[in-house]
Chain A
């Protein structure tokens, strides 16, 4: 059927631009070529280039008629096909014959076969038992079960614990009794930038790793203040896996790895729950604080 007829049947002129038709799309020029080869029932090792090229170009015309954008790759392949065709028209000279010139189609055939292999592999993949489509595994929607396996997961830290941890670090640093003249210390803003770049590189940092031994009290205080400031700016998250355990800093902008996490992070109610958990793990009666 001529293309013109198809078009006039489908579109009135007024609708032409408003209409976008979804035709069976080909993944790319290789896919289209394989389709044409299959449709014409020709041998892939002996492709009748003239016939296939004609059909290929017809298809491109059709795309154009339908106002579909033709991806550049289709044009490249069209050019390749035409080039192969013209090379096959040229007489083979004596020299080339002796050099056993490769069939101009060989490169294309190799690519087609390779593409076909991966396309078949992709069918095979999609025919497997897909998780969430054919097979299902337990999901941890229920809080009770999720908690069973999540004991190691971080819980939110109370500000108080953060300060306590800081005090422990400070206690390690002896109060300098001498009056030293020292260079100007680092500003909180600078320290914030440092902490952020560290976090960017390491993703998570232990609280005490930031407050290393041997730092001056000034630097410790500045560091602590910048952590609080970062927290206020919601740029970092501070977590603690178990009570009295290590406190971790994570960049808040990082996407959460845990799909089961509550959206929006810990709410006030969660904090209460976590606090209860902590108390229970220590064997104290939770109700005392409630």
Chain B
């Protein structure tokens, strides 16, 4: 049974670290503790944060643990940081989704699935480090193969790639189409 000190030590470590802190890394730092104790303490912490009325939550993301603000407080935090946050174009999201589900994937495969040229959007996603090059495919032309990065998991609050909803599930629970309520073609004649 892990004692309380271990739990608070872990809490401090996660608080101070600027990235998700993995169990492996914690086990290295807390060498005097059993890995199973650390894991148990982590679980307790997660539980504690989710049940307590706290402005921060402990989430499992990108293979590690990170303290993050409660999503429902986003408005207030945006007032503080004055940032509008990330905003993705539909093409960027589609490309990310395809790479996330189909990786390792070549650019040609992405373009076939989307039906449009995707070179530009993939380049900018690479620059933002959301995609990474996994290597070269062993077919004529040796095209680069792409996958998603750790930053992708962090950004989309994903524990790992396995926690992406399966494509089958997606069909069953599709969130409302954010583009559906857009006026179709704002071309109606203006009344004089």
Contact = CB atoms under 8 A, between A and B. Distances in A.
A136 B69 contact: yes
A168 to B, nearest CB: 31
A114 interface: yes
B116 A124 contact: no
Most buried by A among B17, B165, B174: B174
A131 B77 CA distance: 12
Nearest to B87: A133
A12 interface: no
A128 interface: yes
Contact of A132 (B86, B182, B189): B86
A145 interface: yes
B95 to A, nearest CB: 8
B67 A138 contact: yes
Contact of A125 (B67, B96, B190): B96
A28 B115 contact: yes
Contacts of A130: 85-86, 155-157
Contact of A133 (B66, B85, B100, B190): B85
Decide if the interface of chain A is mainly helix, strand, loop or mixed: helix
Contacts of B87: 133
A77 B115 contact: yes
Nearest to A23: B185
Contacts of B91: 27
B68 interface: yes
Most buried by A among B70, B100, B170: B170
Interface in B14-53: 15-18
Most buried by A among B18, B66, B96, B158: B18
Given A131-B155, A132-B83, A135-B74, A122 B116 contact: no
A129 B71 contact: yes
A145 B70 CA distance: 22
Interface stretch (A2-10, A92-100, A229-237, A264-272): A2-10
Given A30-B115, A129-B71, A121 B175 contact: no
Contacts of A5: 189
Contacts of B183: 24
Interface string A33-50: 000000000000000000
Contacts of B174: 120, 123-124
A121 B101 contact: yes
Interface residues on A, range: 35 or more
Contact of A126 (B93, B113, B165, B186): B93
A161 interface: no
Given A27-B90, A121-B167, A122-B96, A114 B113 contact: yes
Contacts of A19: none
Contact of B175 (A28, A29, A123, A133): A123
Interface string B136-169: 0000000000000000001111100000110100
B78 to A, nearest CB: 8
Contacts of B167: 117, 121
Contacts of A115: 113-115
B68 A118 contact: no
A71 B98 contact: no
A41 B113 CA distance: 23
Enumerate the 7 nearest inter-chain pairs by beta-carbon distance, A residue then B residue, closest first: A133-B85, A28-B116, A122-B93, A121-B97, A30-B115, A122-B97, A9-B189
